[in-house]
């Protein structure tokens, strides 16, 4: 996420708004944002409704065996259509911002 923060102006110049969604509470996410210096939106999906809707629920993978979200990045256009998805099972493997920006540019 740090790399996305570093490239935030490039997303914004394309009219793209970054948002992270987590099972963490709003309070936990806010603390993490302050600690890490993130300025984009963090949303709490404690009930995992959105996580289920986008089929990224990772059953039993969290602390104490709780359900969490799979690592994933999505580009959803202004009309709500999913234009690009990056899914992984490994929390350490994420899309690079350059990859996301290329996908955004290609969908225009």
- Residue 105's pLDDT is what? 94
pLDDT by residue for the chain (108 residues), tens only, comes to 899 999 999 999 999 999 999 889 999 999 999 999 999 999 999 999 999 999 998 888 888 898 888 889 999 988 989 999 998 877 777 889 999 999 999 987
Q: Which domain holds residue 40?
A: 2-107
Distance between CA atoms of 69 and 54, rounded to whole angstroms? Answer: 10
Nearby residues of 71 by Cβ (< 8 Å), 6 or more positions away: 87, 88, 89, 90, 91, 93, 94
Residue 9: per-residue pLDDT: 96
Provide the domain count of the chain.
1
CATH number of the domain that residue 100 is part of: 3.40.30.10
């Amino acid at each position: 996420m740090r790399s996305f923060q570093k490239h935030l102006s490039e997303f914004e110049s394309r009219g793209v708004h970054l948002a992270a969604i987590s099972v963490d509470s709003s309070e936990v996410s806010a603390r993490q944002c302050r600690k890490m210096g993130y300025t984009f939106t963090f949303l709490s999906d404690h009930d995992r409704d959105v996580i289920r809707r986008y089929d990224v629920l990772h059953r039993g993978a969290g602390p104490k065996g709780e359900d969490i979200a799979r690592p994933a990045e999505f580009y959803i256009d202004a009309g709500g259509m999913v234009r690009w998805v990056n899914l992984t099972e490994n929390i350490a493997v994420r899309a690079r911002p350059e990859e996301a920006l290329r996908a955004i540019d290609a969908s225009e």
